[in-house]
Amino acid sequence: MQKLKNYINGEFVSTEEYKIKLSPIDKSPLAEMPVSRREDAKVAIDAAYDAVKTWSQTPAIKRAELLYKLYEIIKSREEELIETLIIEGGGIYKKAWGEVVFTERLVRNAAELARHYGGRTLQSDMEGVISMVFKKSKGVVGIITPWNYPLSISMKKIAHALAAGNTVVYKSASETPITGYKIAEMIHQAGFPKGVFNLVIGPGPVVGDEIVTNRSVSHVTFTGESATGREIASKASGTLKTVTLELGGSDPLIILDDADINLAVRIAVFGAFFHQGQICTSSKRIIVHERVYDLFLKKFVERVSQLKVGDPRDKSTEQGPLISERQAEEMQKFFDDAVARGGKVLAGGRRSGAYFWPTVFVDVDRNFRIMREEVFGPIRPVVSVKNDDEAVEVANDTDYGLSAAVVTTNITRAFKIADAIESGMVHINDVTMLEESHVPFGGIKASGFGREGGEWSFHETTYDRWVTVTLRERKYPI
Strands, E, within 386-423: which ranges? 400-401, 403-407
Mean pLDDT of 203-226: 97
User: Dihedrals φ, ψ of 372, to 5°?
Assistant: -100, -30
* Within a domain: 187: yes
- Tell how strand 403-407 and strand 425-428 pair up: parallel
Domain extent at residue 366: 251-428
Spatial distance between the Cα atoms of 287 and 365, rounded to a whole number of angstroms: 12
* Within a domain: 439: no
Active site amino acids:
246, 280
23 and 143 both lie in a single domain? yes
pLDDT(305) > 90: yes
Helical segments of 135-238, H only: 152-163, 177-190, 209-213, 226-236
- Confidence bin at 254 (pLDDT 50/70/90): very high
Q: What percent of the chain has pLDDT over 70?
A: 100
Check which CATH number belongs to the domain holding 340 and give it. Answer: 3.40.309.10
* Within a domain: 302: yes
pLDDT(1) > 90: no
Instruction: List, for residues 75-134, the tens digit of each pLDDT value.
Output: 999 999 999 999 999 999 999 999 999 999 999 999 999 999 989 999 999 999 999 999
pLDDT(335) > 90: yes
Look at residue 182 in the predicted model and tell me its pLDDT: 98
Look at residue 298 in the predicted model and tell me its pLDDT: 98
205 and 316 both lie in a single domain? no
223 and 363 both lie in a single domain? no
* Within a domain: 263: yes
* Within a domain: 66: yes
233 and 307 both lie in a single domain? no
236 and 260 both lie in a single domain? no
**Angle 319-325-328 (CA atoms, 0-180°, nearest 5)?**
60
- Give 428's strand partners: 406
* Within a domain: 307: yes
pLDDT(190) > 90: yes
* Within a domain: 472: no
- Give 351's strand partners: 356
Check which CATH number belongs to the domain holding 13 and give it. Answer: 3.40.605.10
393 and 457 both lie in a single domain? no
Mean pLDDT of 7-35: 96
266 and 394 both lie in a single domain? yes
Look at residue 173 in the predicted model and tell me its pLDDT: 97
183 and 255 both lie in a single domain? no
Look at residue 384 in the predicted model and tell me its pLDDT: 98
401 and 456 both lie in a single domain? no
Look at residue 311 in the predicted model and tell me its pLDDT: 97
Mean pLDDT of 18-39: 96
Residue 45's Cα: distance from chain center in Å? 23
212 and 305 both lie in a single domain? no
Instruction: List, for residues 383-441, the tens digit of each pLDDT value.
Output: 999 999 999 999 999 999 999 999 999 999 999 999 999 999 999 999 999 999 999 99
Q: Residue type at 211?
A: I
Look at residue 92 in the predicted model and tell me its pLDDT: 98
What is the number of domains present in the chain? 2
User: What is the 3-state composition of the chain as percent helix, strand, coil, each rounded to the nearest 5?
Assistant: 40, 25, 35
Spatial distance between the Cα atoms of 101 and 176, rounded to a whole number of angstroms: 19
- Confidence bin at 478 (pLDDT 50/70/90): very high
Q: What percent of the chain has pLDDT over 90?
A: 99
207 and 311 both lie in a single domain? no
Task: Please give the mean pLDDT across all residues of the chain.
Answer: 97
* Within a domain: 438: no
76 and 123 both lie in a single domain? yes
